[in-house]
């Protein structure tokens, strides 16, 4: 029932929706969203979505508004009312006060002929035939419809503003989502130790270097340039084949032309390379010079994986 109600909403979109989007887009103020009951809960989610996609928004509970919170509405703010019936007592008290302040008003309501529908500048029709509740009482289908309309508003505004993934990262610096969008390889590799040996380094010293730097790998470097890599796996394979390692050097067991990544690349790109080649470490370069190591565990620790 709820999915069918969402499908039906597309038939109810008219010029009021486009005009409401443009009104918010061109407004110098914020979006104030108000409601009561379950509609108030939906309002808080729409506020959060707008804020995170570049449209400043504030939630104002309809009951609190008529007991002092009206003071948060500024001259250029656009007010969105969410109400299934459009006839709740709190809404009827609230609308005249906001109208007298000459703030533009938008309604998300299932009854465009209601008191609210008749008083606002634009009506976004959230009509549903029936609630999913078997008694047709608990707000279920109606609140889903309200939520979808709020998301549609946010996405239209996002596209009008040219809101990019870079902008998204700016508003979401915390958590794995934000880190995928802003965390760079340098941020991870710079806190790690920097294991390196030369081509002529003895195998004993290679083992010491890998052990001390605790990354399971060392770069083989010549004139600050990466020429190879030696991993724990390379050492185990060598020991299974060679009895006397005293004459061996790094160049005898290194893998030439290893996978590498630029220090300024996104950390998520490092993860993609590691996954596609089934490896746990990547050597890092900056301006063509060896700059360190990024490890799979770094990505796990940051929550990217």
Same domain, 141 and 27: yes
> What rounded mean pLDDT belongs to the chain?
92
Q: d(Cα 185, Cα 295) in Å, to the nearest integer?
A: 10
Cβ distance 251 to 230 under 8 Å?
Answer: no
User: Where among 97, 129, 163 does a domain terminate?
Assistant: 163
146 with 222, same domain? Answer: no
Of 80-84, 124-128, 173-177, 217-221, which gets the smallest average pLDDT? Answer: 173-177
Contact in structure between 83 and 116 (CB atoms under 8 Å): yes
For residue 126, what pLDDT is reported? 96
Residues 78, 216 within the same domain: no
| Of 226, 216, 183, residue with least CA distance to 295 | 216
Residue 177 belongs to some domain of the structure: no
- Read off the pLDDT of residues 160-194 as tens digits, 9 standing for 90 and up: 999 887 777 677 666 656 667 678 999 999 999 99
Q: What is the DSSP letter of 249?
A: B
155 and 19 in a common domain: yes
175, part of any domain: no
Query: Does residue 296 surpass a pLDDT of 80?
Result: yes
pLDDT grade for 301, boundaries at 50, 70 and 90: confident
Instruction: State the residue range of the domain holding 24.
Output: 2-163
Residues 140 and 246 in one domain: no
- What's the rounded mean pLDDT across residues 233-242? 89
What CATH number corresponds to the domain at position 232? 3.10.580.10
Indicate whether 217 and 267 sit together in one domain: yes
- 179 found inside a domain: no
How many structural domains comprise the chain?
2
Task: Note whether 29 and 93 are same-domain residues.
Answer: yes
Does residue 19 belong to any structural domain of this protein?
yes
> Residue 243: is its pLDDT beyond 90?
no
Last residue of a domain, one of 130, 163, 196: 163
> Is 180 within the bounds of a domain?
no
More confident residue, 6 or 166: 6
Residue 3 binned pLDDT confidence (cut-offs 50, 70, 90): very high
Residue 121 has pLDDT above 80, yes or no: yes
Residue 198, in any domain of the structure? yes
The verdict on residue 168 lying in a domain is no
- Tens of pLDDT, residue by residue over 33-71, are 999 999 999 999 999 999 989 999 999 999 999 888 889
Say what the pLDDT of residue 172 is.
Answer: 64
* In a shared domain, residues 111 and 192: no
Q: What is the pTM of this model?
A: 0.66
Q: Is the same domain home to 102 and 158? A: yes
Residues 6+ apart with CB under 8 A from 246: 202, 204
Residues 100 and 139 in one domain: yes
- Domain of 38: which CATH number? 3.40.50.10490
In a domain, 174, yes or no: no
| Cα 166 from chain centre | 10
Paired tokens of 216: 């399971």
Distance between CA atoms of residues 16 and 104, nearest Å: 13
Q: Are residues 50 and 152 in the same domain?
A: yes
Instruction: Confirm or deny that 61 is annotated as ligand binding.
Output: yes
Statement to judge: residues 159 and 190 lie in one domain: no
252-287: pLDDT as tens digits: 999 998 999 999 999 989 999 999 999 999 999 999
């Amino acid at each position: 029932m709820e999915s069918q109600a969402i499908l039906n909403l597309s038939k109810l979109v008219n010029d009021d929706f486009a005009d409401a989007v443009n009104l918010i887009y061109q407004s110098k103020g914020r979006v104030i969203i108000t409601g009561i009951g379950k509609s108030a809960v939906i309002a808080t989610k729409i506020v959060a979505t707008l804020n995170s996609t570049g449209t400043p928004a504030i939630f104002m509970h309809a009951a609190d508004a008529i007991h002092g919170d009206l003071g948060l509405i500024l001259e250029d703010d656009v007010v969105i009312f969410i109400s299934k019936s459009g006839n709740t007592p709190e809404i009827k008290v609230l609308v005249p006060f906001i109208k007298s302040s000459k703030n533009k008003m938008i309604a998300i309501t299932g009854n465009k002929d209601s008191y609210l529908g008749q008083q606002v500048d634009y009506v976004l029709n959230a009509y549903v035939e029936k609630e999913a509740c078997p008694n047709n009482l608990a707000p279920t289908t109606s609140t889903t419809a309200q939520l979808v309309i709020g998301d549609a508003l946010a996405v239209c505004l996002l596209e009008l503003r040219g809101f990019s993934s870079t902008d998204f990262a700016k508003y979401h610096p915390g958590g794995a989502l934000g880190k995928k969008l802003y965390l760079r390889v340098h941020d991870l590799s710079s806190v790690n130790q920097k294991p390196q040996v030369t081509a002529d380094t003895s195998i004993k010293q290679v083992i010491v270097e890998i052990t001390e730097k605790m990354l399971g790998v060392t770069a083989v470097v010549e004139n600050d340039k990466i020429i190879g890599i030696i991993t724990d796996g390379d050492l185990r394979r060598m020991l299974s084949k060679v009895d006397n390692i005293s004459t061996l050097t790094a160049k005898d067991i290194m893998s030439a032309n290893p996978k590498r990544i630029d220090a300024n690349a996104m950390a998520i790109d490092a993860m993609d390379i590691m996954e596609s080649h089934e490896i746990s470490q990547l050597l890092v370069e900056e301006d063509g010079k060896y700059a360190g190591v990024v490890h799979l565990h770094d990505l796990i620790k940051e929550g990217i994986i």
